[in-house]
Amino acid sequence: MNIHRAIFGLLCILGSVLTANSFVQSIDPTNEIKESLIEPPFITSRDGVLTATLKAERKSVRVGNRDVLTVVYNGLFAPPTLRLNRGEVIRLTLINALDKSTNFHTHGLAVSPLGNSDNVFIEVPAGTTFDYEIRIPRNQEPGTFWYHPHFHGLTSSQVGGGMSGALIIEGALDKFPAPLRKVKERIILLKDVITTASATGEYEHNPDVGNDTGTTRTVNGQVNPVISISPGETQYWRIANLSANIYYLLKLDGHTLLEFAQDGNLLNRIVERQEILLPAASRRDVFVRGGKTGVYQFRTLAINTGKAGNNYPEVGLATVVSQGLQQVPLQLPTRLPPVPDMRKLNITNRRTIIFSESDDPDEYYIDGKMFDHHRVDTTVKLGSVEEWTLVNASDEMHTFHIHQLDFQVTELNGKPVEFIGYQDNANMPSNSTIKIIIPFTDPVIVGKFVYHCHILRHEDKGMMATIVVVP
């Protein structure tokens, strides 16, 4: 056996059992450990237009060491990343080759919810094709976003099967010093799939089992890939939770994650994180500085979402190898461009929104009601700035997500939350109360859209409501 491969195999085994603060310090500097992380293919804009076709289909794809029969776009568990600029347009043809209805949603973008734009009330029936046209405003914040189906009742099974991909609005580093704008960028898409063996022994995605069932966690569709970095090197990681239901509590052994954006929004400063809680649908943009030569584990720590929730074990996500020549660490700015604090705005209305659930029957509610697309639950006038008190009246975590805009979290259980920036998805601990400020001030959002728990199993079982913004 090649000695390089033997060393590499040993390091991978060691990496999978590393403790929280340990790492392998000695590797052979003459034998580079080959990187195995593969990023999804890109579709980029040209002359102001991003033209793409996504085919939703049931197909066998390779996940880890298994072939899994599941639902995907374009035959890929990690489908194309869409990359374009502010002020451009997405022209996307969705081909539905499934046996059930679906549709298409761009998560996190401040775009129109009307017509054939980001309209989650569109139904694309089985065997049909639909053309979307989504115009990106010139004032859209650059950052890391994503796309997925949003057809009520089927969202969890379709996203959980693999129908989710990254969407990037270029320019996230434009406000940083020139050296930082040139660092290596990595797309780190966290996705899982629950599989069971069929009667024929084949593995297939099973959308009918609970969230606490054992699941295969992947990075860009790969199980425990190798990521290479040089000691002292600065890299830009776009980390996105594209799973349907599960949480991640991220840690990179021996490193500090330098967070500078969340949910596509630049923060007002760089925040040093030893761990990052990443609920379903959330994204974090971070700088990573390579540690001293060695092998480290990038993993999700164990997390319990409450008595009525799920208890997820610790899982290794990727093996990070710091190797090669020592580089001089790039200097990071001590300040980022100011972000206006919404607490200084004039609040025009206040609401209380209650998230609750029932064990028998298995139902989830917002303000005591299950979702009904024929019903309008909330009406807001354009120009309003509202403070919402979000009450989680259950014994498990939920998330709060609202389409078409961002918000600012101001309080958790009556205590002020430090202001670092905006987000489009917020975790709600069990039996908690949080306060947020939402500015309904951008004319592009006029129309009907939704807010919901982004644990998609909860959304499909009723935890969603309809909002209309009127001129």
Strands ordered across the beta sheet of 226-229: 226-229, 315-322, 294-300, 248-252, 276-278
342-345-350 Cα angle (round to 5)? 90
Q: Which pair of tokens denotes residue 166?
A: 């990254």
In three state form, how does the secondary structure of 184-224 look?
Answer: EEEEEEEEEECEEECCCCCEEECCCCCCCCCCEEEECCECC
Average pLDDT over residues 436-456: 98
What is the per-residue pLDDT for 214? Answer: 78
- Res 24 pLDDT > 60: no
Q: What is the pLDDT of residues 321-340, one digit of tens each?
A: 999 999 999 999 999 999 99
How many whole angstroms separate alpha carbon 444 and alpha carbon 54?
A: 25
Confidence category of residue 213, pLDDT binned at 50, 70, 90: low
- 168-189, pLDDT tens digit by residue? 999 999 999 999 999 999 999 9
Helix (H, G, I), strand (E, B) or coil at 428: strand
What mean pLDDT do residues 211-232 have?
91
Q: Report the mean per-residue pLDDT for the chain.
A: 93
Quickly state the pLDDT bin for 199 (edges 50, 70, 90). Answer: low
Among 291, 294, 273, smallest CA distance to 327 is for 291
Position 294 confidence tier, pLDDT thresholds 50, 70, 90 = very high
Looking at residue 203, what is its pLDDT? 83
What's the pLDDT score for residue 219? 98
- Distance between CA 206 and CA 211 in Å, rounded? 11
Q: Chain-centre distance of CA 130, in angstroms?
A: 25
pLDDT digits (tens, 9 = 90+) for 147-162: 999 999 999 999 999 9
pLDDT confidence tier of residue 2, bands split at 50, 70 and 90: very low
For residue 301, what are the CA distances in angstroms to 22, 240, 275, 285, 369?
14, 16, 9, 19, 34
Bridge partners of 67, per DSSP, are 62
Is the bond preceding residue 40 a cis peptide, omega within 30 degrees? no
pLDDT per residue over 355-364, tens digit each? 999 988 899 9
Q: Is residue 13 over pLDDT 70?
A: no
Given a cut of 80, whether residue 256 has pLDDT beyond it is: yes
What DSSP element (H or E) covers 180? helix 178-181
Residue 11 has pLDDT above 80, yes or no: no
Residue 217 has pLDDT above 50, yes or no: yes
Q: How far apart are CA 45 and CA 256, in angstroms?
A: 34
Q: Which residue segments constitute the domains of the chain, with CATH numbers given?
A: 42-169 (2.60.40.420), 175-322 (2.60.40.420), 342-470 (2.60.40.420)
Is 6 or 370 the better-scoring residue by pLDDT?
370
The DSSP H or E segment spanning 457 is helix 456-460
Beta strands in 170-314 (DSSP E): 184-193, 195-197, 203-205, 216-219, 226-229, 234-241, 248-252, 257-262, 265-273, 276-278, 283-289, 294-300, 303-304, 311-312
- Tell me what pLDDT residue 212 has: 59
C-alpha distance across the termini of the chain, in Å: 70
Q: Cα–Cα distance between 240 and 82 in angstroms, integer?
A: 14
pTM to 2 decimals? 0.93
Please give the average per-residue pLDDT across 127-136, as a whole number. Answer: 98
236 has pLDDT over 60: yes
Q: How many angstroms separate the most distant Cα atoms in the chain?
A: 71
Q: Is the dihedral of CA 445, 450, 456, 460 positive or negative?
A: negative
Question: What is the predicted pLDDT for the residue at 186?
Answer: 98
Q: What is the mean pLDDT of residues 270-296?
A: 97
Predicted local distance difference test score (pLDDT) of residue 29: 64
Percent of the chain with pLDDT over 90: 87
Calpha distance 53→388 (Å, rounded): 38
Task: State the pairing for strand pair 464-470/378-381.
Answer: parallel
Residue 95's pLDDT band, with cuts at 50, 70 and 90, is very high
Determine contact, residues 106/87, Cβ cutoff 8 Å. no
Provide the residue type at 414 as one letter. G
Strand partners, 350: 387
pLDDT of residue 449: 98
What pLDDT score does 18 carry?
41
Tens-digit pLDDT profile for residues 28-39: 666 789 999 999
| Element spanning 225, H or E | none
